[in-house]
Structure 1
Amino acid sequence: MGYFPFFVELEGKEGLIVGGGRIAAHKIEKIKPFGAKLTVVAPYLAEDIKTDPILDCKERPFLDADVDGKCFVIAATDDEKLNAHISALCQGKNILVNVVDDQEKCGFIFPSLVKEGKFCAGISTEGASPMTAAYFRSRLAAALPEKTEEILDGLLAFREPVKQEIPDGRVRAAVLKEAALFCLDKGRPLTKEEMQERLRAAAGKQEKKKTGSVALVGAGCGAYDAITVKGLNTLRRAEVLIYDDLIDERLLSNVSESCEQIYVGKRSGRHSFRQEEINDLLVQKAREGKRVVRLKGGDPFVFGRGSEEMIALRKAKIPVTEISGTTSAIVAPAGAGIPVTHRGLARSFHVITGHIAGTEDGLPEDIENLAALHGTLVFLMGIGNLAAIADKLIAAGKSGGTPAAVVRQNTDGSTQAVRGNLHNIVQKAKEAGTETPAVIVIGETAGLQLFDEQ
């Protein structure tokens, strides 16, 4: 089956409902807000149907001629043979038909609807699970602002003066988008003063070339819902999205269809873009007047090179902001039931890069100092150097029996952990087939498992 969610103009169109009971009444109530001219035919009609002034009611048996001239027909009787006959009749005449509780005989199906004024959304599972459609309908309805109808009426009224006063199509689209986002954030329509102010500001932008902006946004660690509300709202406003490898791609569905998406992912041993190229790309897109979002896994300022990008943007005089995300240094161990601090075991934790460019062995130069610390050591990007890290810590005096864990946080929210100590963690990780990206945790808290891995 290939159901496509067309939105069809029903205002003034002729429709027929065959059936006069509870199910027919339910279908009528769904269609009434869309302005169709409805005829209802059945030997018996419920009282609420008969007394509805907008319905053309015919309390008699169905006749084949009843479908003539109709845009759509709904068979809602308890007679399966009659419903099948109506379906065949309509399909022979190329009339859209819906047969209640018999999807095989339908030319169209009813979605689970959310309608608030001009806002209308239909959700369907193609009959697989009406409960699932109803669940998402409820969530969507709950997410709508209380004044959705007023907001949309106001935005419609705003479109005409924007169209008349702003000839530049790109500026016009940006003004309308910003107005919509403002209204949704505030939960109210624009005032007349706010409309005028936005028109004046837009006129100024046409005369003076606009410089764009960049937001460095941390996607958080793990599944797509780890991003902050502020980060998600910023993502939805993006005109250009430049994103990394270590994010859940479900996040990409939150950007608009017109947003330009550029992948610049990097993993150990597989670089697609050099950092300098990414910096130049951010500057270039911002100078095009675009609202750019640089989406990074984890937190931009925790080994995310976000500070380097911010320095390059500030040097180029590009407005730039940073929106923090949850870092894998805390989230990944926590997903395995490992706290990075615990009273009596670790009063500090230290986040260290497990791979340093320019050193002979790629390891931190102060590993002896790290070995002497009593807190938790968390190494990021160090899985390739796990053996060298363990050996050097032991050589620097840290006990081989010190608890150690290698934790991988997946984008589906699950966590995989390998537990051991400095003596055996390398072998255990190898046997488990642990792959990058993974976090190395060393210290007494690595011996804890406060709950099962998520």
Structure 2
Amino acid sequence: MYPLGLRLDGRRVLVVGGGAVASRRVPALLAAGADVLLVSPELTPALQSHADAGRIRWEPRRFRPADVDGCWLVQTAVDDPAAAAEVTAAAEERRVFCVRADDRDAATAWTPAVTRHGAVTAAVLGGGDPRLAAAVRDAVADGLASGALLPETVPGHALRGRVALVGGGPGDPELITVKGRRLLGLADVVVADRLVPGLLLDELRPEVELVDAAKIPYGPARAQEEINRIIVDRALAGAFVVRLKGGDPYVFGRGGEELIACAAAGVPVDVVPGVTSSIAAPALAGIPVTHRGVAHEFTVVSGHIPPDDPASLVDWPALARMRGTLVILMGLKNLPAIAATLLDHGRGPATPAAIVQEASTGAQRVLRSTLGAVTEAALAFRPPAVVVIGEVVGVLEKKPGEDVEEP
């Protein structure tokens, strides 16, 4: 095989077939800027959405040889050998390369196993063995993500002088986004919260400066000012700084304050959303925050300030009157006051409630209770923990093998 990178921006690519294989191939063609013509009597819902949005042109019929005219590449995604052979013959006659999903030996081009890492695209051909190609591709992807395959001159190259606010997810290192992990592998400086997945920090390159934000002195306000100063100063000195946070940067993560500080100093910022524990923790405990016929809404609030404190911005009486799911972050300490306020303003004591401690980690604990009894049960739990209140707590059956505590 002769490997080659095709520049398809604005060039016509014909896809024949509207099934699962086409659903896999079309997004990559669109990402490359290709002008996609898809010919098939029927489409999968995913392909139909592309057609409805005008991203592809769909001809709802069988293939005609003239469809190849003007095309730079043909992707045959049908499982009918006779139909595929007709497409191959038409492409061969017009000297257009043709990929065959059903028979690689009859094709004039192969689709490699691909991984993308920023500006790097790695394509692997396995000599006709797709499993081998995928295995090597995955190993390359891991090496790029960890920085092991990047030369020392690459990390931070085009990103020097920039800051990325990256959400690390609820605790499991595999729950960080692909982009977040990629940027972490390119970082010169990492400023990390105490709740970030520790294994992600263990994968940093030896020369990366790690700033433990949890150990910055002063009170909360002064500590945040110091974090802002460190981020800005390191970026202005030419480093690529990743501000790594547990969960999502903008869900009670002060990411907005850090972005404002960077903007004031003229430092460009990229924001990488993370999996927030407000949704992930209940999900990992077998609790959907919404469920058809049970909850059509969910509200996420911070419980770090008690309801009767003048500094609280939460309308607790209004939340008590709502029928949906209430998710409380950082509320374990003030849970007695929160529960009492909700009960005083209309939530029933029998309303299901749950506590999920250290979700997605080996220390995860789950307790199901009721609003009237959860306060006493919470004494055995410690932060970080998420409290869920609402009928969704009991809507799913207990998962086999799940360690669930009852009051």
TM-score range normalised by the length of the shorter chain? 0.5 to 0.7
Alignment of 1:157-176 (within 5 A): 174=153, 176=154
**What is the TM-score when the length of structure 2 is the normalising length?**
0.58
Q: Secondary structure at the match of 1:311?
A: helix
258 and 348 in structure 1: CA distance in 2 versus 1, 3 angstrom threshold: same
2:303: which partner in 1?
A: 354
Residue 451 of structure 1 deviates from its aligned partner by 4.0
235 and 349 in structure 1: CA distance in 2 versus 1, 3 angstrom threshold: same
Q: Of residues 213, 238, 247 in structure 2, which corresponds to 1:264?
A: 213
1:232: which partner in 2?
A: 181
Q: Of residues 214, 217, 222 in structure 1, which corresponds to 2:171?
A: 222
Q: Of residues 133, 137, 140 in structure 2, which corresponds to 1:144?
A: 140
Q: Of residues 267, 272, 275 in structure 2, which corresponds to 1:326?
A: 275
Q: Of residues 394, 397, 400 in structure 2, which corresponds to 1:447?
A: 394
Q: Of residues 304, 307, 320 in structure 1, which corresponds to 2:256?
A: 307
Q: Of residues 265, 289, 304 in structure 2, which corresponds to 1:340?
A: 289
1:397: which partner in 2?
A: 346
Residue 270 of structure 1 deviates from its aligned partner by 8.7
Say whether the 8 Å CA contact 1:247–1:411 is kept in structure 2.
Answer: no
Q: Secondary structure at the match of 2:226?
A: helix
Residue 374 of structure 1 deviates from its aligned partner by 1.1
Task: Return the alpha-carbon distance in structure 2 between the equivalents of residues 435 and 297 of structure 1.
Answer: 17
Alignment of 1:244-283 (within 5 A): 244-265=193-214, 274-283=223-232
1:435: which partner in 2?
A: 382
Residue 415 of structure 1 deviates from its aligned partner by 2.9
CA RMSD of aligned residues (A): 3.2
Give the gaps of 5 or more residues in structure 1. 1-137, 157-172, 180-200, 202-209
Task: Return the alpha-carbon distance in structure 2 between the equivalents of residues 381 and 214 of structure 1.
Answer: 27
Task: Return the alpha-carbon distance in structure 2 between the equivalents of residues 391 and 358 of structure 1.
Answer: 10
2:332: which partner in 1?
A: 383
Say whether the 8 Å CA contact 1:211–1:318 is kept in structure 2.
Answer: no
141 and 253 in structure 1: CA distance in 2 versus 1, 3 angstrom threshold: farther
1:367: which partner in 2?
A: 316
Residue 347 of structure 1 deviates from its aligned partner by 0.3
Task: Return the alpha-carbon distance in structure 2 between the equivalents of residues 266 and 355 of structure 1.
Answer: 20
Counterpart residue identity of residue 297, structure 1: G
Task: Return the alpha-carbon distance in structure 2 between the equivalents of residues 419 and 270 of structure 1.
Answer: 35
Say whether the 8 Å CA contact 2:277–2:359 is kept in structure 1.
Answer: no
Residue 260 of structure 1 deviates from its aligned partner by 0.4
Q: Secondary structure at the match of 2:260?
A: helix
Task: Return the alpha-carbon distance in structure 2 between the equivalents of residues 139 and 215 of structure 1.
Answer: 30
Say whether the 8 Å CA contact 1:222–1:413 is kept in structure 2.
Answer: no
Q: Of residues 358, 371, 377 in structure 2, which corresponds to 1:422?
A: 371
Deviation by residue 1:388-439 (Cα, 9 ceiling, x = unmatched): 0100000011111111111113463553111111110011222xx1000100
Task: Return the alpha-carbon distance in structure 2 between the equivalents of residues 358 and 377 of structure 1.
Answer: 15
Q: Secondary structure at the match of 1:144?
A: helix
Say whether the 8 Å CA contact 1:224–1:250 is kept in structure 2.
Answer: yes
Alignment of 1:106-117 (within 5 A): none
Say whether the 8 Å CA contact 1:264–1:272 is kept in structure 2.
Answer: no
Say whether the 8 Å CA contact 1:402–1:421 is kept in structure 2.
Answer: yes
1:89: which partner in 2?
A: none
Give the gaps of 5 or more residues in structure 2. 1-133
Residue 265 of structure 1 deviates from its aligned partner by 2.1
Task: Return the alpha-carbon distance in structure 2 between the equivalents of residues 259 and 295 of structure 1.
Answer: 13
Q: Of residues 295, 298, 316 in structure 1, which corresponds to 2:247?
A: 298
Say whether the 8 Å CA contact 2:300–2:328 is kept in structure 1.
Answer: yes
Q: Which is richer in helix?
A: 1
Aligned length, in residue pairs: 262
